Amino acid sequence: MIYLDNAATSWPKPASVSAAMRDFLERAGGNPGRSGHRLSIAAGRIVYDTREALAEFFGLQDPLRVIFTLNATHALNLALQGLLQPGQRVVTGGMEHNAVMRPLRELETRGVKVDVIPAREDGTLDPADFAAALQTPARLVVINHASNVCGTLAPVKEIASLAHAAGALVLVDAAQTAGALPIHLPTLGVDLLAFTGHKALHGPPGTGGLVLADSFDPAQLRPLVRGGTGSRSEYEIQPDDLPDRYESGTPNGVGIAGLGAGLAWLNERGIESLRAHELSLSARLREGLNEIPGVTVYGPKDPQHATAVLSFTLQGKSVSEVGYRLDEDYEIFCRVGLHCAPAAHRSLGTFPAGTVRLAPGPTTTLHDIETVLCAVREIAQA
């Protein structure tokens, strides 16, 4: 079996992840921050340790600015619905996932103005187009750090600088890059960053967060959910303290324990080392696919300008047929279709059929890649 669906969920998880989750349930299964007994305190310590590790990972000074959510989609909804009001304007790019586009289209029905900057056919965005769009005042710029369809990286730092000069806030969707690339918030110069735990951070599903830059004023961001926080319980209004302002209800302590273990595993191996490994695999994959007659590969030609995610189509065969053959005949697991990103496929010219997406991970080998290339070659000749 060859697993090439890491852009959806990384697999296999490090053994330490399930061990940490089991240990949390067996030894620290209390409700973090809700009681004063030892199980609650132990659970709260694990949650805080993970929060602190994530803050260091993203270059934050204040760990309380790491807000835990269910996933990147939850985090993006918190940011978009918490920042935007009717009559305001938001600028985004043409490679966005539906985790951004669907909330924006809903907000559009409530009077928020949404402008989408077109992407080139390889998924790249031109900062000059954003500079032109920002001649008209905007409240927010939201950018996908890397495409989940073809891996193309966005020039986030340049766009953020332009946005701030125009008086706009910047939100980054880092679902595909958190754990796959080094991310230092002060260097990127963004205000908010949404991440998920179950992809390149190697945590379990149901984990993620919204990171608030140290310079960002939380008073600008309304909570998405209100309720019990274990703090300020004498009041029936939501507390302003971080992270409680945005973390109502019992947190996913067992998932956060697993996320902390996934991050520790990542730090031990080194993100630069894992990036180099995955880049070498994606480079060989792109090279080999381009040699197969009838195959079209999407995204930037230089792997350095993308994550390890790669999409292709095969002339004369539907993407579902190719995916089925890879699964049934070769035990190669990938993803086909639109990947919840119709805007990106319109930019790439692959809408509505979509693509076959291959996403190597840390455990993928060069032998796996050669096996995949052989399989695609045989499917193309059939």
Q: Which residue, chain included where needed, has tokens 């303290």?
A: 241
Distance CA 21, CA 202 (A): 13
Output the six-digit token pair for 70. 């269910």
Residues 247 and 299 in one domain: no
Q: Do residues 99 and 205 share a domain?
A: yes
For residue 132, pLDDT over 90 is answered with yes
End residue of a domain, out of 268, 300, 335: 268
Give 178-200 pLDDT, tens digit per residue: 999 999 999 999 999 999 999 99
- Answer with the one of 268, 295, 330 that is the final residue of a domain: 268
228-236, Cβ contacts within 8 angstroms, sequence gap of 24 or more: 228/34, 229/33, 230/31, 230/33, 230/34, 231/33
Determine contact, residues 309/7, Cβ cutoff 8 Å.
yes
Peptide bond into 223 cis (omega under 30): no
Q: What is the pLDDT of residues 220-237, one digit of tens each?
A: 999 999 999 888 888 889
Residue with tokens 């830059």: 213
Q: Which residue, 268, 292, 322, sits at the end of a domain? A: 268
- In CATH, what number is assigned to the domain containing residue 85? 3.40.640.10
Residues 223 and 357 in one domain: no
Asked if residue 90 and residue 174 are part of one domain, the reply reads: yes
Instruction: For residue 29, name the pLDDT band (cuts at 50, 70, 90).
Output: confident
Looking at the structure, tell me whether residues 188 and 60 fall in a common domain.
Answer: yes
**Does residue 102 share a domain with residue 44?**
yes
Please check whether residues 100 and 215 belong to one and the same domain.
yes
The mean pLDDT of 10-37, rounded to a whole number, is: 90
Overall domain count for the chain? 2
On whether both 279 and 263 belong to a single domain, the answer is: no
pTM for the model:
0.96
CB 180 within 8 A of CB 360: no
Residues 2/23/28/25 CA torsion (nearest 10 deg): 60
Parent domain of 317: 2-10+270-381
281 in the same domain as 228: no
The verdict on 182 and 286 lying in the same domain is no
For residues 259 and 279, membership in a common domain is answered with: no
DSSP string, 131-172: HHHTTS--SEEEEESB-TTT-BBP-HHHHHHHHHHTT-EEEE
| pLDDT at residue 230 in the model | 83
Least confident of 98-102, 152-156, 225-229: 225-229
Clarify whether residues 207 and 293 are in a common domain: no
